[in-house]
Structure 1
């Protein structure tokens, strides 16, 4: 029986450089965003497993015998490259009363929870009677890795209560993290949860959520960077919806139409990613303010390249113009065509300039957060160490 009340958190992610070029084998840099998803874990009623997701309106509870009866049909394949089968997902939908083809966030989040719970318990032993509440600072559907942060938190919590990984938090500690071997296991199960939600994800988002910091992604290979600085940014959501599939197809069409023009643009984006990696890795040992103008130039050049690829948008142009009026540098992050942008805040940026930029961005109808990139990955917390805001949100279950 699980007897402790603890919390797990995992960060979201943004793409720093390499959007769209990464699809064509170039380097992309993904960084952990210090907007986090939080999971509270505590002992539950005997013989019951409960989950509450107040952000998407989910509050469900199942009895252990019912889950155990379904478990044999959900046992995970040892081949981690395989997605959950159609038969497995159909069985989960039937059990949870979710209509076939339902794609609302609450349906997919429930399916991912059930799949991970049953597949993990099939391999490592029963999930004990616990209550799980998950709340996130991340907006859903904005390309910021909210589903991966959810899957990482679930994987860590479920593996821990089943005994597959340790509970590293000692009495009196505020936070703790797992060993590298345990993080690898958390990441592999989070990836399986992401497959329930997205079908065929790249694995980047859950890797960022697990290890934090920054990672390099190229041709399917994910490499966490060893040491990176924590950088202050403004994250702005233009709230303009976009179709990643349509934008990717548009880039491909432009490359096929003008290969001699577009391929050098992709090569330049690749060079920016690699040069930026070198700067980030140099900064912890040599925290010179001279690095920041270089990072700002990378933002400016890459934003122009992304516009050339055809993934800009008037809302993103407006975002860049507003921040430039405050001597700040911005670029889109993710698919483009709307969505989100990031603005670098060097250490010498005055609080008044930041506040003025935020007000002007909000006046455009955008949503804006002052946050950090390079944040730590999945972390175990004592509940008493969480902020009042997070504790209040987790209590709304």
Structure 2
């Protein structure tokens, strides 16, 4: 049982280059963001394990003694890396969902229960522990997304920047702390449907789409080269010019693949009016985009861009890439206002008497 409050966090992530092409064996570059999800673990004597996810409106509790009496042997059957649909169906009975529970709420609760019931929690971790964290985080991804690539959980576990190709993940050495804007167009989309559309377009126009995927692969490799050069020397204006050109080319390629959207076009037009370069990140079809911020930009210039984007109805965050991976925090390691805010409102929290 935990004797003190434990606060851990992990960074968010974006894809710099390689969206959709990675599905077809090409290289993708993923980076950790300095925007973090926090998890607070707090012991209490109520005899319940409580889950509070205020960002998505979930607050649930289960009696620990009842959980311990349930037959959970099905969770230990087979390799945890194989599909777990059968286990999830049984877990739904444990979750005891109310009738008005939405699909994303159900998935969030199932992911929590699966991990909570399977994992022996630790407060410190070695390299082996990080491997285990990554492994179990991947299971949570599978609960929610079905057949994920493994990029999201890996970059949130280790942080920094990762190269991903055909299931193989490697870290980029000392990626530069580039500043970016992360913009949410708030246009919903289906990743599964967009991936299928690209596959169908490849089958229909193989001589057109295959070279596009090869070109996107080359963009990822060139971006990797530029980032490594920036990490070993003083970043120069030509480095940022190269990154901006790569962003523009990749965005045009993604539009040609059919995963663009009018909201993303608007995003690019707004930032280009301020001399900045943007592209979609992730599946496309709406969703999120990123904008590179050159180091010569002033604070008022960045604020003007952010105001223009929010004026379009978008959400906008200023952040940086290459953030550290999963971390343990104490009151001393966080600024007082941050700790106070998190103490009352964490992105995720559970409390248990066991």
Does residue 336 (structure 1) correspond to residue 284 (structure 2)? The answer is yes
2:286 matched to 1:286? no
Aligned to 1:49: 49
**What is the RMSD of the two structures over their aligned residues, measured on CA atoms?**
2.1
Residues 93 and 99, structure 1, Cα contact 8 Å, conserved in 2: no
* Structure-2 separation of matches of 1:112 and 1:341: 27
How far does residue 103 in structure 1 lie from its aligned partner after superposition?
5.4
- Structure 2 partner of 1:207: 154
Change (3 A) 1:368 1:251: same
Change (3 A) 1:308 1:70: same
Larger mean Cα displacement after TM superposition, 55-64 or 106-115: 55-64
- Equivalent pair of 2:331/2:339 in contact (CA under 8 Å): no
Change beyond 3 A, Cα 1:354–1:295: same
Deviation, 1:79, is 2.0
Larger relative contact order (C-alpha < 8 A, sep ≥ 6)? 2
Q: Where do 5+ consecutive residues of structure 2 fail to align?
A: 347-354
Partner in structure 2 of residue 152 of structure 1: none
Q: Distance in 2 between matches of 1:89 and 1:256?
A: 34
* Secondary structure class of the residue paired with 1:55: helix
Equivalent residue, structure 2, for 1:312: 260
Report deviation, 1:98. Answer: 2.0
Aligned match of 1:242 in 185, 189, 201? Answer: 189
Offset at 1:78? 5.5
- Residue in structure 1 matched with residue 76 of structure 2 by the alignment: 76
Distance of aligned partners of 1:308 and 1:251 in 2 relative to their CA distance in 1, 3 Å threshold: same
Q: What secondary structure, in the 3-state scheme, does the structure 1 residue paired with 2:194 have?
A: helix
Cα distance in 1, alignment partners of residues 262 and 145 from structure 2: 29
Q: For 1:45-99, what per-residue CA distance to the aligned partner results, in whole angstroms no more than 9, with x for missing partners?
A: 164322211122222222322121225334334623213241x323321122127
Aligned length: 344
Distance 1:61 1:240, change over 3 A: closer
Describe how 1:221-240 pairs up with structure 2 within 5 A.
221-240=168-187
Q: Which residue pairs with 1:142 in the alignment?
A: none
User: Which region of structure 1 is more displaced relative to structure 2, 214-223 or 382-391?
Assistant: 382-391
- Are positions 1:392 and 2:344 aligned together? no
Deviation per residue, 1:138-176 (Å, 9 max, x gap)? xxxxxxxxxxxxxxxxxxxxx21xxxxxx34xxxxxxxx
Check whether the contact 1:5–1:383 (CA below 8 A) recurs between aligned residues.
no
Show the counterpart of 2:250: 302
5+ unaligned residues in a row in structure 1: which ranges? 122-158, 161-166, 169-177
* Residue 391 of structure 1, CA deviation: 3.4
Task: For 2:138 and 2:100, locate their aligned partners in 1 and report how far apart those are by CA, in whole Å.
Answer: 21
- Structure-to-structure mapping, 1:119-198, within 5 angstroms: 119-121=118-120, 159-160=121-122, 167-168=123-124, 178-198=125-145
Q: Which residue of 1 aligns with 2:63?
A: 63
Which residue does 1:276 correspond to in 2?
Answer: 223
SS at match of 2:265: helix
Provide the rounded CA distance (Å) in 1 between the counterparts of 2:325 and 2:49: 26
Give the distance between the partners of 1:248 and 1:195, measured in 2 at CA.
17
Give the whole-Å Cα distance in 2 for the aligned partners of 1:226 and 1:100. Answer: 49
Aligned-pair CA distance for 1:269: 0.5
Residue 36 of structure 2 is aligned to residue 36 of structure 1: yes
Tell me the distance in 2 between the aligned counterparts of 1:209 and 1:71: 32
Cα distance between partner residues in 2 of 1:209 and 1:45: 32
TM-score, scaled to structure 2: 0.91
